[in-house]
Amino acid sequence: MGIMKRVSTIFQAKANDVLNKAEDPRQTLDLSYEQQLENLTKVKRAVADVATAKKRIEIQAEQLKAQGDKLADQAKAALAQGNEPLAREALTRREAIASQLKDLETQHATVADQQAKLEATATKLQSEVEAFRTKKETIKATYTAAEASAHVNEAVSGISTSMGDAGAAMQRAQDKVAEMQARSGALDDLLASGALTDLTGSTDDIQAQLDKASATSDIDAQIAALKASGSTTALPSGTSDAAPATPAVETSTPEGN
């Protein structure tokens, strides 16, 4: 039995915890206000019912008074006619009506007292409901402001976290950019030194060797020309290393061939 009671207590505690988390105080306050309005409406309805009952008693009393007055007049008329038994009967009925009027007066006083109490209760309840409504709206506004503040704080906290992540990401990006710039500079130095072939250039290694050989040939030719020029000036006049020119022989072709 003790175990079952503990299980029940734990279950109720967890259920209350879930309900407390799911409960919105603003909705609870609105529901309480609606219930108070319903109670106030019931009290006002009871006041109206009591007032209606009192009015009926008053109408009934007026009718009985009218009947009593009529019986009194009839008793007088019967005595005037010398009919005492009839006059006595009229007065007897009038006494019965007077007894009924006395009971109605008692009921009327009781109902009037009930009406006064109900009206006082309705007035007090009306004031309490109005005070509850004002306090309810104040609490709702305070709760809404606190909720908005909590959301703002959560958002600011999230922004701070995301800004920290963004700062770290930006730092990593800057580090990578610096690393790529360093690598690019190193490659440029290697290309400039010839340690690496610039594949983006217009010449390759073979072309460079051909260009170098061509430049060397040009220089050799210039040196040979200089040497030839220097030997020509050293020769005696009238002599030349060049072979004599062979005269050109004209060949005529007979006409008609």
Gyration radius (Cα) of the chain, Å: 65
Decide: 121 and 128 in contact? Cβ < 8 Å. no
Domains delineated in the chain: 7-174 (1.10.287)
pLDDT category of residue 24 using cuts at 50, 70 and 90? confident
Q: For the whole model, what pTM was predicted?
A: 0.49
State the DSSP H helix or E strand holding residue 232, giving kind and residue range, or none if neither.
Answer: helix 205-234
What residue type is 34 in one-letter code?
A: E
Decide: 94 and 72 in contact? Cβ < 8 Å. yes
To the nearest whole percent, how much of the chain has pLDDT over 90?
37
- Considering only residues 22 and 52, tell me which one the structure prediction assigns the higher pLDDT: 52
- Under the phi-then-psi rule, with left for phi > 0, alpha for psi from -120 to 50, and beta for the rest, what region is 256? left
Decide: 60 and 104 in contact? Cβ < 8 Å. yes
Task: State the alpha helices, DSSP H only, in 81-198.
Answer: 84-193
Instruction: Assign 213 to helix, strand or coil.
Output: helix
Residue 238: what are its φ and ψ, rounded to 5°? 90, -10
pLDDT for 112-161, tens place per residue?
Answer: 999 999 999 999 999 999 999 999 899 888 888 888 887 787 777 666 66
